[in-house]
Structure 1
Amino acid sequence: MHISPFKLERFFARYEFKAPYLLCTSDCEPVSVSDIVDMDKSYLDKILHYNLGYINTDGQGELKDSIANLYRSIKPENIIVTNGAEEAIYLFMNIAINRGEHIIVQFPFYQSLGEIAKHIGANISFWECDNRQNWELDIDYLKDNIRDNTKIIVLNMPHNPTGYISSLEKYNEIIEVARQKNIIILNDEVYNGLEIDDNSRLPYISDLYENGVSIGGLSKAYGLAGLRIGWIASQNKSIINEVNHYKDFTTICNSGISELLAIFALQNRAKLLSRSLGIIRGNIKLLTEFFNRYSELFNFIPPKGGTIAFPELKRDIDIEQFCIELVNKKGVLLLPGNYYDYDNRHFRIGFGRKNMPETLEIFENYIKEIFRVI
C-alpha cells in the first residue's frame, strides 16, 4: 500500500520557491554560515579543515552532549540525531506502532504525525483543539477515547498550526492519564523556546515522563532549516535502541558538516533564540493589531508560541481559491487550512520572518481591494 501524498509539502513545492512573499512559513528567519562564523572566529578554520567522511549513525558525541544539555533527565546515550525532525517522526512511528493498534493525535496536525501511523495500519482518534475555546484540548475526550490497545498519544506543543500551548496543570494531567495505562507520549517540540510569554514554556515531555518521547530540531526556533538536523530523545532506552537500528535503513548517518554547524549553533543557543524571539514578538504585535482592525473579516486566536497562527476567514469563500488568487495576483503565500484536513475557512499565517511587516501590508491592501473594507 502506497502512503498518501504529503499534501502540505506538495502545496509548498508548487509555490514556496516562486512566491516573492512568504506569509505562512513555519521557520524563523534563516541564519547564514557567516552569521555563525561571526559568533566565534575559530569556527571558520574548523569548517575549512573538517573531514567529510561518514559519522556515527546516532550522531557525533559532541553534538549529543550539547543536545543533552537542553534536558534535565536525558543523557547523550538517550538521543538519536536525525536528518531533520521529520526523520525522527518517521523512525519513531515505524518502531512504535503496529497494524491494528490505536493512537490519539492532537488535531489539526502536521501530516506525518498521523499519516505514517495510518499507513502502517493504526487506528487514529483525532483529539481536536477547540477553536471556540482558544484552541483548548478537552481532557475528558482523552480519557473517554483511550482503548485497551491505545499505544501512543501524539502531542505537538507549541502547536502547528494554532500556536496553542496547554497549561502545565493540563500537561501533567495528560501525563498521568498516559502513565496509568502505560501509554507512550510523543511530543513534537520543535517550537520549544519560541513562547510569546516565557512563563508558558512547558518542560520537555522526556524530562517529565519515563515513556515520553521528545522530537527536537534546529529548523524552526534556530532558523537553521537547511542543516536538516533533528533528534529524538527519551528515557526509554528500548525506544532509542530501536530507532537507532531502523535508521540503518533510512539515512544511516547525517551530514557531518551539518552536525558541526549544529554544535556551533547550540554553543550560541541563547543568541540564536534571542534573535528569533525578537522577530516573532515584534511581528505578533503587528499581526494582532491587523486582525483587530479587520475583526469583521477574520476570527483570530493569538498564538501562545511558535511562528504560526490559524485564523478563520468569515466569508463564504473557498479558502484554497482565496490563497491561490492571492499568490497569483500579489505574490503573497498563505497556506489553506484544508491542507490540514481541517475546514475550508481557516488558513495558516506565519510571523517568523523579518519581512513580515512589508508582506502584511501587501496582504492588507489586497483585502481592502477585494472586500471593499477601509
Structure 2
Amino acid sequence: MIADLPDFELEAYFSRWQGSMTHSFTASEAETMTVGELLALAGEPLEALAEVDLGYRSSAGSPSLRSEIAATYGQVGAGGVLTFAGAQEGLFWTLAELLRGGGHAVVTVPNYQSMESLPLSSPAEVTGLPLWRGSGADLRWELDLDRLEDMLRPDTRVVAVNFPNNPTGYLPGEATFRTLAAMCEERGIYLVSDEVYRGVEIDPADTLPQVADLSPLGVSINVMSKSFGLPGVRVGWVASQDTALLARLEGRKHYTSICNPGPSEYLATLALRHADQIHERVRGLIASNVELAADFFAEFGDLVAFESPRGGSVSFPRYLGTDGVETFVRRSVEEAGVMMLPASVYQSRLAPTPLDRFRLGFGRVGVPAAIRALRSHLNGEDRLSA
C-alpha cells in the first residue's frame, strides 16, 4: 500500500501556491478556535489542560474520548471506536487491511485522493463510480445505485464513499443512502464511509445516518478537522460494529502513530461534548458565506455557474470563461492572492472527472474578504465572456 503512491495533488498544489495566497476561498475545514476559546466554551480553566500528562496513552484512545465518540452513534459503543492521528491514518489502514488480499473495490469519483490512490496501490482491482450524469450545463450530481449494482462482482470487498462529498458538496437522500448500505450488506461487502463533513449541513434535516449504525459491515471514518474546525488537534477515528476488524486495525496502528497525544485527546473530548454549539456556529457561518458567494457570482454569471453545497463546507461550481478554469484560478491567486482549487487537482485515474470546475470553501470567517478581493480583481481586468 506504500510503494507506488503518487504525489498528493491537492497538497502539492497548496505547497506551490501557498506563498502567493492572502485569502483562502477554498479551505475545506471550518473556522478553528484557539485552545483558550475551546476551554472557555467547555467551562474548563487553563489549568485543566496544564494537568494533562505527556506520556504514552492507550493505543485505542482514552476511555473518555471513545465514550464521547460512541455517543454520536446509535449502534456503536466505545468498544466499536478506534482513534487515529487524523482521518488520513484511519482511512489508510482501513483500506490497506480490507484490500490486502486483493479482490475488487468500488470508489466514488470525484473524491479525496486517498480514497482511490490507496486502493489502486493495493493488490485489488478498482472501479470508479461517477457521482454525476450529463456534462456541462446539464451535469447533475447523483448517486446512481443501478450503476453501482452493475459494477459489483462476486469478489467485491469494499465500496468506498464520501458524503457530504469533497469537492462537490453533494449529498444523496437518506433513502438512497440506506439502500446503499443494505445493498452492500446483502452481498457481504464492507461499506467504507468518509463522513468527515457530517454535522454542518445548512439544513440539519439533510444529515445522513452514519454507516456504522446502518450495517455490521459499515465502517465510519470521521475526524475533528473538518466540521469541528480543529485540524491541529489531529484526532480522527474509525467506528464499526465489527470489533474484530478494529482489533486488526489497532495492530496496524502500532506501526504508525501508536497512540494520540494526551492534550489532543483531552481537547477533542471537550469539543465532542459541545458538538452542538460548535456545529451550530459553523453551520451559520457556512450559510452566511454561501449567501454572499451566491450574490457575488450572480454579478459574474457569464463566468461562473454557482452551486451551493447541500452538505459540508465545499462546493464545485462550473467555470464558463473562455480562458479556462486553470487560468482563472492561477491568475486569481497570482494577481489577487485568492486561493481556489482547479478541477485538475481532482482528476481521477478511475473516471474522467469534469474539467470545468473549481472548489470553493465556505467555512472560514475570511470568505467575505476573499470575495471582496476577487471582485476587485474581476472588475479590474478585461474579461472574455463564455
Normalised TM-score (structure 1): 0.96
Which residue of 1 is the match for residue 315 of structure 2?
A: 309
2:65 corresponding residue in structure 1: 63
Conservation of the 8 A alpha-carbon contact between 1:318 and 1:344: no
> C-alpha displacement at 1:37, in angstroms?
1.8
Q: 1:43 to 1:60 in 2, by over 3 A?
A: farther
* 1:78 is the counterpart of 2:84: no
Which consecutive unaligned segments of at least 5 residues does structure 1 have? none
Q: Tell me the SS of whatever aligns to 1:42.
A: coil
Change (3 A) 1:15 1:37: same
- Give the Cα separation in 1 of the matches to 2:359 and 2:131: 15
Per-residue CA deviations over 1:143-187 (Å, capped at 9, x if unaligned) read: 111011111111111110111110111111212221221111011
Counterparts of 2:5 and 2:103, CA distance in 1: 18
Matched, 1:364 2:375: yes
Task: For residue 45 of structure 1, report the CA deviation from its aligned partner.
Answer: 1.6
Structure 2 runs not aligned, ≥5 long? 348-352
Q: 2:272 aligns with which of 244, 266, 271?
A: 266
Output the CA distance in 2 between the equivalents of 1:37 and 1:181: 46
Indicate which of 195, 219, 239 corresponds to 1:233.
239
Alpha-carbon deviations, 1:48-76, whole Å to 9, x = none? Answer: 12111010111111000000000000111
Q: How is 1:133-148 mapped onto 2 (pairs within 5 angstroms)?
A: 134-148=140-154
Q: Distance in 1 between matches of 2:122 and 2:303?
A: 41
Q: How far off is 1:2 after superposition?
A: 2.8
Equivalent residues in 2 for 1:63-142, closer than 5 Å: 63-98=65-100, 100-130=102-132, 132=138, 134-142=140-148
SS in 2 for 1:120: coil
Cα separation, partners in 2 of 1:371 and 1:130, compared to 1, 3 Å: farther
Distance 1:280 1:80 in 2: 30
Alpha-carbon distance in 2 for matches of 1:105, 1:301: 24
Q: Which moved more, 1:363-372 or 1:215-224?
A: 363-372
Partner of 1:321: 327
How far is 1:282 from its partner? 0.7
Number of the residue aligned with 2:365: 354
Q: Note the C-alpha offset of 1:41.
A: 4.5
Moved more, 37-46 or 270-279: 37-46
- Look up the equivalent residue of 2:50 and give its one-letter code: L
> What CA distance in whole angstroms lies between the structure 2 residues aligned with 1:322 and 1:20?
16
Q: Do the aligned partners of 2:322 and 2:384 also contact (CA within 8 Å) in 1?
A: no
Aligned to 1:345: 356
Q: Secondary structure at the match of 1:192?
A: coil
- Correspondent of 1:207 among 213, 226, 232: 213
Partner of 2:48: 46
Q: For residue 239 of structure 1, report the CA deviation from its aligned partner.
A: 1.4
* Cα deviation code 1:246-270 (max 9, x no counterpart): 0001111111111111111112111
> Against the structure 1 CA distance between its residues 334 and 34, is the aligned structure 2 distance closer, same or farther, given a 3 Å change threshold?
same
**Structure 1 match to 2:301:** 295
Q: Which amino acid aligns with 1:356?
A: V
- 1:314 CA displacement: 1.2
Q: Is the 8 A contact 1:43 1:264 kept in 2?
A: no
Q: Distance in 1 between matches of 2:122 and 2:309?
A: 32
**Distance verdict in 2 for CA 1:357–1:170, change over 3 Å:** same
Contact between 1:134 and 1:301, CA under 8 Å: does it hold in 2?
no
Equivalent-residue separation in structure 2 for 1:112 and 1:225 (angstroms): 17
Please list the CA deviations of residues 93-141 of structure 1 after superposition, one character each: whole Å capped at 9, or x if unmatched: 1111136421111110000011011111322211111164531121111
Identity of aligned residues (%): 30
Q: For 2:334 and 2:307, locate their aligned partners in 1 and report how far apart those are by CA, in whole Å.
A: 27
Counterpart of 1:176 in structure 2 is 182
Aligned counterparts of 1:330 and 1:226: Cα–Cα separation in 2: 28
Query: In the TM superposition, what is the alpha-carbon distance from 1:271 to its structure 2 partner?
Result: 1.5
Question: What is the TM-score when the length of structure 2 is the normalising length?
Answer: 0.93
* Alpha-carbon displacement from aligned partner over 1:355-374 (angstroms, at most 9, x marks no partner): 21121121123233345489
Q: Does 1:186 align with 2:192?
A: yes
Kindly provide the amino acid, as one letter, of the partner of residue 215 in structure 2: Y
Q: 1:272 Cα shift?
A: 1.0
Letter in 1 for 2:326: E
* SS of alignment partner, residue 244 of structure 2: helix
Residue 128 of structure 2 is aligned to residue 150 of structure 1: no
Aligned residues: 374
